[in-house]
Chain A
């Protein structure tokens, strides 16, 4: 499993990244390593059902709900992580 989550923003690997990584391992065991900056459908080759399974796994890991509308806005796991961080920040205000 490789995560390349520090290419763009130099962030440290946080609990959201960890949850995403755990979810990938559970929902997509057939995928050996995933680039967090790769487009899930065009680069990794996931279909819509696989993306949905992955997101449900992330929701369970973090105990949050990710609206379907968010998925339309993101292409990569890093982008999804970013949206999740802003969602959880919003709800904790």
Chain B
């Protein structure tokens, strides 16, 4: 008996996926040429699976901010803000995030995963309730595991199903935190946010919206789905990440409730970890200013989104979402065809993501494309042509 025996099924699954050629899991990226192009297996490819929605990772201003902070403050903070000191840049970024939303408080975390872990595990305590959408990201489920609240799952994007579960709680629903996402990364679908807000209000519950994949993409100022739908005033907490549209690493939680500040004293994933490096804080501050002012970036991204969605629909692919968005998930009949698509696209110089059960909802086999403002019309042409070849060969 070995401690590693329990991983044998996972090892087998990985071996089956990556038996020949470039592995589709943890695919080695040899080099980065731009925010939209890289090198895989010695070959120049279009990066269409990196969640780099606004292409800010190599923006000269963003890179310059990071470089200056790196040279001035050094490589790391070497500790927790609570124990080892809080740099001005971290506090300034929190202030800028809160100001963008027009709210009194924001907290910065070292990763987006930790932002959910900390917010969910700490906001919902022992006598409280968590109501999670069944398609929630692992960080949301893990936040529930880390905390002590009673957790109930409702059907994906189903406000009526949530309503029934809140009704069963009766008056206790006022101590229930509902968690939904602004864009679900597996299928690229969006929640019926107005309906969820209505249910939340009917039961006097609380609503946390995870805008990890929707921040920077939706809304006039890129604040996410709640801004786009005119519902910011109805949300209690917005969680986001720095590692997608903002091009860095880290996460945040912001709220119209000033008491969010109290989480600094109680949230273990905030207290017991090193704070983000000064360089990443500096790059995120510059990226944030570009996101908020970035209507041109969003216009480019949405042109790309609309073109690709239209083409995929014309090819007759079944997509995970009927509303176009920065993630285009193609549902394929089985793992073999999903893998064949992934390999076929890579052979045509397009890097995408292969997603298979149990990482996917409803046991679906998916090929996932993430679009970027950094993609040129020619990049989109190449992606469309590659799909055209696959369709012809099928």
Q: Residues of A at under 8 Å CB distance from B?
A: 47-50, 52-53, 55-56, 59-60, 63-69
Residues from chain A with a CB closer than 8 A to the CB of B165 are: 59, 65
- Complex Cα spacing A69 to B164, Å: 19
**B357 in contact with A52 (CB, 8 Å):** no
Interchain Cβ contacts under 8 Å between A and B, 11 examples: A48-B358, A49-B363, A53-B362, A55-B153, A56-B161, A63-B164, A64-B168, A65-B165, A67-B152, A68-B152, A69-B151
Residues from chain A with a CB closer than 8 A to the CB of B358 are: 47-49
Residues from chain B with a CB closer than 8 A to the CB of A60 are: 161
Residues from chain B with a CB closer than 8 A to the CB of A68 are: 132, 144, 151-153
Question: Known interface pairs A56-B134, A65-B168. Does A49 touch B361 (Cβ–Cβ under 8 Å)?
Answer: yes
CB distance from B105 to the nearest CB of A (A): 29
Closest to B358 in A: A47
Residues from chain A with a CB closer than 8 A to the CB of B132 are: 68
Whether B150 is near chain A, meaning CB under 8 Å from some CB there, is yes
- Complex Cα spacing A69 to B150, Å: 7
CB distance from B269 to the nearest CB of A (A): 19
Closest to A57 in B: B155
**B153 in contact with A52 (CB, 8 Å):** yes
Q: Which of A56, A63, A64 contacts B153 (CB 8 A)?
A: A56
Q: A53-B134, A59-B165 are in contact. List 5 more A-B contacts (CB 8 A).
A: A47-B358, A49-B363, A56-B161, A65-B152, A69-B150
Residues from chain A with a CB closer than 8 A to the CB of B360 are: 49
The 9 A-B residue pairs whose C-beta atoms are closest, nearest first, are A47-B358, A68-B151, A65-B152, A67-B150, A65-B165, A65-B168, A49-B358, A67-B151, A52-B134
Residues from chain A with a CB closer than 8 A to the CB of B152 are: 65-68
User: Number of contacting residues on B, CB 8 A?
Assistant: 20
Q: Residues of B at under 8 Å CB distance from A?
A: 132, 134, 144, 150-155, 161, 164-165, 168-169, 357-358, 360-363
Q: Which of A49, A67, A69 contacts B362 (CB 8 A)?
A: A49
Residues from chain B with a CB closer than 8 A to the CB of A48 are: 358
Residues from chain A with a CB closer than 8 A to the CB of B134 are: 52-53, 56
**A47 in contact with B144 (CB, 8 Å):** no
Residues from chain B with a CB closer than 8 A to the CB of A66 are: 152
- Complex Cα spacing A8 to B164, Å: 34
Most buried by A among B152, B161, B168, B169: B152
Residues from chain B with a CB closer than 8 A to the CB of A63 are: 164, 168
Residues from chain A with a CB closer than 8 A to the CB of B155 are: 56
- Complex Cα spacing A59 to B358, Å: 22
Closest to A67 in B: B150
CB distance from A1 to the nearest CB of B (A): 20
Closest to B364 in A: A49
- Complex Cα spacing A64 to B360, Å: 26
Residues from chain B with a CB closer than 8 A to the CB of A52 are: 134, 153
Most buried by B among A49, A56, A65: A65
- Complex Cα spacing A72 to B152, Å: 13
Closest to B152 in A: A65
- Complex Cα spacing A67 to B153, Å: 8
Residues from chain A with a CB closer than 8 A to the CB of B357 are: 47, 49
CB distance from B163 to the nearest CB of A (A): 12
- Complex Cα spacing A54 to B152, Å: 14
Closest to B155 in A: A56
- Complex Cα spacing A49 to B164, Å: 21
